[in-house]
Amino acid sequence: MQKTNFWKDIHKPIFSLAPMEDVTDTVFREIVLSISHPDYLQVLFTEFTSTDGMCHPVGKEKVSHRLKMNESERALLKKMNVKLVAQIWGSDPEKFHRTTKMLNEEWDFDGIDINMGCPVKKIVKQATCSALIAFPDQAKEIIRATQEATHLPVSVKTRTGIKKHETESWIPHLLETKPAALILHGRTQKMMSDFPAEWDEIGKAVKLRDELSPETLLLGNGDLFSMEDCLSKIDQYKVDGVMIGRGIFKDPWIFNPDKKIPSTEEKIQLLWKHASLFVETWGKEMNFNILKRFFKIYTNGFYGAADLRAKLMETKCLEDVEKVLSEVNG
């Protein structure tokens, strides 16, 4: 059955988890799904996947793991009616077209998102992601090439400018292409994540959207660390929804505002579930050390957390993790 534009039917306000490198793989997405409330999480995104890699016979094998979806995740997505969007990046419109066709044929996503926001130097040096803000005509070509290759809705995630805010000149270019959704991070490329997000720029984009492409949904992103933050920004800036990034590290239960403060036992159980599923999913395909960036999410806010975290950072395999955790439970 051909999928329709889910953005048109999604209930508002919309809450989504940002695509993050070495974070939002199928394992972490499943963990987040398992503890979230379906009214407060409607859209998930994959890690960002290179169109250059996808269009290269050898490169495809190296990058396509970013698109992996476990059957257990798929079942949860269906049960909770949460949509999964593949995010892709690059600079060549033709490769966006080819990659999108592959996504149609070989994977089962609900939408395609184009990364025009990543500020990392080694990425923008390739004239990709947030560097495209300086090349609006190329950016529009990329969006249109992607739209032409799929029946799935195409969204764009971007920033407000490169060295300074260019919201009022940049955003209208994107809106010309009538994307299904536009996700705007309230920082420039230069600001990285080192300065507070400037939501007034997102407010400007909302007004431009209302005038130029009212059918495009607009989500705000930046400095959202609680559901209270999200609801406040939605109310103040009239966005259709929000995208949470680093806030998930402060509170993995952020998409479940009815949840009471989790107990130490619940945090430890979730850590073990995450570590077990990671090893079950990736085996030796992924470096075990990737897991360690997640340990601090679960080991905080209770007596002995710092000591436990230090011991977990010394682990080299799942058996080591089990031994450390058994000492806590013992």
Q: At what angle do helices 136-148 and 93-106 cross, to 10 degrees?
A: 30
Closest of 272, 283, 263 to residue 326, by C-alpha: 272
Has 118 been annotated as catalytic? yes
- Cis amide bond preceding 13, omega within 30: yes
Task: Report helix, strand or coil for 252.
Answer: coil
* Cα separation, 222 vs 324, whole angstroms: 35
Residue 98: its H or E element:
helix 93-106
* Cα separation, 133 vs 86, whole angstroms: 21
Instruction: Give the residues across from 95 on adjacent strands.
Output: none
**Residues in the chain, total:** 330
Residues with Cβ within 8 Å of 74's Cβ and at least 6 positions away in sequence, in order, are 108
Closest of 219, 236, 161, 157 to residue 195, by C-alpha: 161
Helix, strand, coil shares of the chain, percent, nearest 5, are 50, 15, 35
The count of C-alpha atoms lying within 13 angstroms of the C-alpha of 120, restricted to the half-sphere facing its C-beta, is 8
55, 118, 129, 230: which one is catalytic? 118
Enzyme catalytic residues: 118
